[in-house]
Amino acid sequence: MGKKISGAEYPLAKIFSSDFEYVIPSYQRPYAWTVDQAAELYDDLYTFYSSEPEDGYFLGSIVLIKQETSPFSEVIDGQQRLTTLTILLSVLASILEGKQRDTLSKYIQEPGNEFEGLEPKPRLTLRERDKTFFAKYVQALNFDKLGDLDEKSLDNESQINIKKNSQLFLQLIEKNLGNNGESIKGFVAFLLQRCFLVAVSTPNQQSAFRVFSVMNSRGLDLQPTDIIKADIIGKLTTDKQRDAYNERWEDMEVELGRGGFNDLFTYVRMIYAKEKAKKSLLDEFRNHVLKVSNDPEKLVSDVLEPYASALATVRKANYEAVSHAEEINRYLRWLNRIDNSDWMPVAILFLSRNKNIPKYVEWFFSRLERLAAYMHVCALNINERIERYNDVIRALEDEHSFDSPAQAVELIGTEKEKMREVLNGNVYELTPRRRNYLILRLDAFLSDGAASYDPSILTIEHVLPQTIDDNTEWSKLWPDEQQRQEWVHRIANLVPLNRRRNSQAQNYDFSKKKEAYFSGNKGVSSYILTTQVLNSVQWTPEHLQNRQSELLEVLQENWRLGA
């Protein structure tokens, strides 16, 4: 009995009950979910709650080291979800009052029961570095005090994420539910009764990590595509047909790799469904694709093979044609730098049908890269991205050609305006992936696309330092602190470097800093933006204003952001 591995599906009311006492071990990574992941979770939950009055919502699985006779649960996998769900429940409890608040708080804090031998304690205890912070502000429902904290005063990124996600949930609940107790009660009831997690419990660390490894394996366990294959090829009537199509199936899988092949089915599902998945890939593919394309020969020949070929081309950026190929592959390489693949269904749908018209392919991917960059840089959430890309998919299913192109891929006026605002704002405060994409894209525009980049060794640095000492050249050039704060994080003051230079040089005077901090080993830089700084004589407010205008003009011209 002591070696038993067990797993069961529980509603959140059971997950956050006295049956479990979650502890995040110190060797786990910190709480890392940003507002992007938290917003996606909330949007999924609220959308399902609003549209599905009876069905249950599956939140995935968690892996625990837990003895059957004890509630103590060491979390091996699932801390991000458990922490985020605790924040959400705590925010909801903070809005409620009286008995409702007390009732919901029991799912956040174990109130204790002397007859059952239960001590008062949090349901979830974070790593040592963050547990006191989390208990003090989140589990004690002190969100006003948490909101007043300066992020710079917080100890680490984990605490910053906790604060930001708390504020996000407060804003979203206010937007969707207001302060209406009954509305909040209905949402809470949905969370506790109709949202489920599978808890897999193992008695020791060795077996827990083995379970975790198997659950997250991408190639050893049975994949949805294996079952879909049986659905499709099983419908063929002769052994000869089945053998032939099985070979073609395996050719696609070899070309894309097992992970890429599974991704293909996710993209095909999106093309057919045009909405975010609500169930498993297997269920969704059966409901949205197989019910429409139920002829196995045509499904393989007319859908899967063309899309698989297009996916391979897009991922490898190896489009071939007599003309326009270089430009097309350049756009594909930039698209592959986007930190999501939501654009991929659009790309493979278009390419599979228009690959032999290179001038149209070049036109389309120049627009698709701009659209993806807009949503990436402007931080649209996953639901907004999916909705926008589905507009393009619908347009691609109508008649279109190079002479009458699919206009849905173009940015509209409000989108251009929003992007211009972000480009002219505090770019450094974007997430690292967004600002890196933007800075490197700008550098590529300046080099006419000739430069190539390795983002793994990239760092973005300030020319005018974020903090400056009195009695330095910087303090004389920039005496107005408010003006410094206005300019320090904007694109004109940022440069890409291949690696972080000597940190002591960050606050050197401009001329000395160029030599010690921005120059490469041979006194030059591989980036056009950084070379421009090296060639600048001074770094004054006037110079930055002119530089800002010039760089924005480059971005607006190349991304065609004019009104």
pLDDT, tens digit, 9 for 90 and up, residues 11-25: 999 999 989 999 988
Burial of 203 (0-12, 13-18, 19+ CB in 10 A): middle
Predicted local distance difference test score (pLDDT) of residue 356: 96
β-bridge mates for residue 22, sequence order: 73, 124
Q: Which residues of the chain, if any, have pLDDT below 50?
A: 1-2, 217-222, 502, 504, 523
Q: Are 89 and 109 in contact (CB under 8 A)?
A: no
Q: How far apart are CA 409 and CA 411, in angstroms?
A: 7
Q: Measured between alpha carbons, how far is 555 from 563 in angstroms, rounded to an integer?
A: 14
What is each CA distance from 94 to 44, 104, 165, 348, in whole angstroms?
A: 22, 9, 15, 46
What tokens were used for 521?
A: 């080993």
Question: Distance of alpha carbon 73 from its chain centroid, rounded?
Answer: 29
Q: What letters, b where the CB count within 10 A reaches 16 and e where it falls short, cover 86-98?
A: bbbbbbbbbbbee
Per-residue model confidence (pLDDT) at position 246:
80
**Distances from the Cα of 63 to the Cα of 33, 75, 158, angstroms:** 18, 6, 21
pLDDT at 178: 82
Strands, DSSP E only, in 291-405? Answer: none
Q: For residues 99 and 67, give the distance between their C-alpha atoms in angstroms, rounded to a whole number.
A: 34
Give tens-digit pLDDT for 214-256: 555 433 344 678 778 877 887 887 878 887 888 898 889 878 8
Largest Cα–Cα distance of the chain, in whole Å? 87
- Among all chains, which residue has been given the structure tokens 């009052």? 97
pLDDT value at residue 208: 65
pTM of the model: 0.68
Ordered DSSP codes for 250-277: HHHHHHHHHHHHHHHHHHHHHHHH-S--
Question: From CA 514, how far away is CA 358, in angstroms rounded?
Answer: 44
Instruction: Give the pLDDT confidence score for residue 502 in this predicted structure.
Output: 46
Residue 163's pLDDT is: 95
CA distance 352 to 500: 42
CB atoms within 10 A of CB 466: 13
pLDDT in the model for residue 496: 87
Strand-pairing partners, residue 72, are 21
Upper half-sphere CA count for residue 197 (Cβ side, 13 Å): 21
Q: How far apart are the first and last CA of the chain?
A: 70
